[in-house]
């Protein structure tokens, strides 16, 4: 008995349909299918055997069994990934004979996607408060650089009191104490991708004057104390007057 494994990759989009065929054997040296985020990927596994029972197929995703409908198991079986998501990056799909698990073939998905940077976000912050701006830099392949600008010029980390941190997923720009003359304006974070070129997100930051913030509960407690003190003084005075009139 022999297994002929044929994996067909079909990528679809709303405006155009394109296809690419990749044939892999269990001893293939490549075994990687390129896909783009939100695409639809269809994998087809075909087998030849002596009987239908012998060529029943089983699918796994990262070692976990995929549930197949009854009409999608014998001779030819397909799995559809729609849409492709972030978590599909690096996922391995394997197909093997139910009667002989050693007869198998597999492919791995390499999902490419750009950082989600676009649009204009409005931000309002008071003077002396902290300013925090975040940009999503998650991408495959990884971005080669991430730059922050304020009003068209590179952010001056020392002179303007900024800090920039990154965990590989998000780039964060912070200013611990905002000044209206320094920190107001238009910010841009720009990521450079090896395949998606440059992508930019903008922030329009408005710095307002600091408002006095009074703690409500202490104020209420203080007013209650003043009221009770005044009330006790009035009662005490009234008792003295009443006593003198007797």
Span 7-34, pLDDT tens digits: 443 332 222 222 222 233 333 347 888 8
CATH fold of 7-112, please? Immunoglobulin-like (2.60.40)
What end-to-end distance do the CA atoms of the chain give, in Å?
122
Give residue 92's pLDDT: 94
Give residue 54's pLDDT: 58
* Residues of the chain below pLDDT 70: 1-29, 48-54, 212-219, 221-222, 225-227, 231, 233, 235-246
Residues 6+ apart with CB under 8 A from 164: 148, 155, 157, 171, 172, 173, 174
| DSSP conformation class of 75 | S
Task: Using alpha carbons, select from 116, 138, 114, 140 the residue that is nearest to residue 32.
Answer: 140
- Is 123 in contact with 133 (CB distance < 8 Å)? yes
Rounded CA gap, 103 and 94, in Å?
Answer: 11
Give residue 3's pLDDT: 38
C-alpha angle 32-33-39 in degrees, rounded to nearest 5: 155
Listed by start position, the domains of the chain span 7-112, 120-208
Tens-digit pLDDT profile for residues 120-133: 899 999 999 999 99
Dihedral pair phi/psi, residue 85, rounded to 5°: -120, 175
DSSP string covering 85-124: -GGGTT-EEEEEETTEEEEEEEEEEEEEB-----SEEEEE
Give residue 5's pLDDT: 39
Architecture of the domain whose range is 120-208: Sandwich (2.60)
Domains 7-112 and 120-208 share a fold: yes
Task: Using alpha carbons, select from 61, 59, 46 the residue that is nearest to residue 92.
Answer: 61
Give residue 244's pLDDT: 59
What the block records as the tokens of 141 is 């392949």
Provide the whole-model pTM.
Answer: 0.65
């Amino acid at each position: 008995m022999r297994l002929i494994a044929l994996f067909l990759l079909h990528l679809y989009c709303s405006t155009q349909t394109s296809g690419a065929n990749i044939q892999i054997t269990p001893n293939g040296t490549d075994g990687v299918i390129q896909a783009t985020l939100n695409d639809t990927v269809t994998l087809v596994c075909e087998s030849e055997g002596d009987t239908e029972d012998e060529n029943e197929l089983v699918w796994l995703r990262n070692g976990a069994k995929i549930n197949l409908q009854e009409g999608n198991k014998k001779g030819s079986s397909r799995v559809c990934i729609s849409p492709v998501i972030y978590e599909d990056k690096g996922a391995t799909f394997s197909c093997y004979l139910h009667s002989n698990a050693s007869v198998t073939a597999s492919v791995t998905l390499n999902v490419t996607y750009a950082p989600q940077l676009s649009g204009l976000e409005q931000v309002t912050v008071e003077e002396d408060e902290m300013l925090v701006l975040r940009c999503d830099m998650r991408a495959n392949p990884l971005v080669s650089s991430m730059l922050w600008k304020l009003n068209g010029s590179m952010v001056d980390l020392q002179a303007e009191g900024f800090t920039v941190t990154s965990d590989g997923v998000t780039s964060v720009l912070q200013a611990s104490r905002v000044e209206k003359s320094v920190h107001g304006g238009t910010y841009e974070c720009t990521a450079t991708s090896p395949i998606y070129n440059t992508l930019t997100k903008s922030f329009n930051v408005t710095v307002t004057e600091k408002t006095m913030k009074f703690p409500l509960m202490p104020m209420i407690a203080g007013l209650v104390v003043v009221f009770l003190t005044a009330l006790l003084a009035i009662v005490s005075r009234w008792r003295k007057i009443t006593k003198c009139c007797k």
